[in-house]
A = this chain, B = another copy of it.
Amino acid sequence: MTEERKLAVLRAIVEDYVSTQEPVGSKTLVERHRLGVSPATVRNDMAALEEEGLIAQPHTSAGRIPTDKGYRFFVDRLTTIKAMSAAEKRAIAGFLEGAHDLDDVVQRSVRLLAQLTQQVAIVQYPTLARSTVRHVELVALSSNRLLAVLILSTGRVEQRVIEIPVELTDELLSELRLRINTAAVGGRITDAADALGDLPEAVAPHDRRTYTVVVAALVEAMSDHRSDERVAVGGTANLARFGDSFDSTIKPMLEALEEHVVLLKLLGEATTPAHVTVRIGHEGPYDQLASTSVVAAGYGAIDAVSALGVVGPTRMDYPGTMAAVRAVARYVSSYLEEA
């Protein structure tokens, strides 16, 4: 029993099971893959693999299916991420071409990823953390209401409606705008809070309260974690292709997709850009999603780092999915950089 052949058998089992979705037996295995040995031999290998916990059988006298551990082994040791074909690369580039704002980039990426992988795609919006303030605009809505618009280097726009305690004059507005912009523009949003915090002392006592209120709202908008917590989801319809049992896979999946916080946890920490992470079945943080895997990658330019990925059944085409995720992460990164 050569070690290599045993692993070849494992690889064959994984590939077969992924494509047919049915437990694979020794006979069909030697038919489909040229292993050059008899079914009996394969059975011996299988027994060994089962011993090691890499495969299992749903019931006696059925074929084998890979365990989570088996998939893990497959992903780590038995496969390399394929490169995308030139045509695919062109298709990806074309798909992202012509996006006209950040929202648009994210939307397109989700669609693209869902389409490429035929699975559910998730794209986290770029984190604000490292971004800088490009401009702050204040617009009077009424005599005591103010709309503050915060434009960030990432192209991201945040807005807040602010109630003002005093009557709002044009002069006050201009002054506010000027002071705030000179103080905040160019700085990282993480530093902006400090820079703005110092302001009120240089202001006429009468307007101090207004200042405080506006600055507070802006600081809140900047540090608001909701921004990083936003995610876009696409390809939900691909759930229908799971063919899997509804209750055990699709239902919990639908529930998870509603909870963006859950999705963020699934994507995990944004890693080095374009470095693909795979989390298989029970390795993830949620028991209900024990039969789903997550393939994720970090993406981003210098000032906008984040994560994207897909989630699907543990029984998925890992090499293909990983290639797609990596490719999209790369293209989105480069697209964000040039923008």
Contacts and interface: CB of A to CB of B under 8 A. Distances in A.
A223 interface: no
A143 to B, nearest CB: 15
B159 A101 contact: yes
A59 to B, nearest CB: 24
A151 B149 contact: yes
A101 B160 contact: yes
A208 interface: no
Task: Report copies per complex.
Answer: 2
Contacts of A160: 100-101
Interface stretch (A65-73, A229-237, A309-317, A319-327): A229-237
Interface in A231-261: 234-237, 239-240, 246, 250-251, 254-255, 257-258
Given A101-B160, A137-B151, A147-B151, A235 B250 contact: no
Contacts of A29: none
A123 to B, nearest CB: 15
Interface string A94-106: 0000001100000
18 contacts: A100-B161, A101-B159, A101-B161, A134-B139, A135-B139, A137-B149, A137-B151, A139-B151, A149-B149, A149-B151, A149-B157, A157-B159, A236-B258, A237-B251, A237-B258, A240-B251, A240-B254, A240-B255
Looking at A159, A234, A250, which has the most chain B CB atoms within 10 Å of its CB? A159
Nearest to A114: B258
Interface string A116-136: 000000000000000000110
Q: Interface centre among A100, A137, A246, A339, by most B CB within 10 Å?
A: A100
Band of interface residues on A: 20 to 34
Interface in A323-339: 339
B240 A258 contact: no
Counting from the closest, the 9 A-B pairs by CB-CB distance are: A240-B251, A237-B254, A237-B255, A135-B139, A137-B137, A237-B258, A101-B159, A236-B254, A157-B157
Contacts of A234: 258
Contact of A257 (B141, B237, B251, B258): B237
A137 B137 CA distance: 8
A155 interface: yes
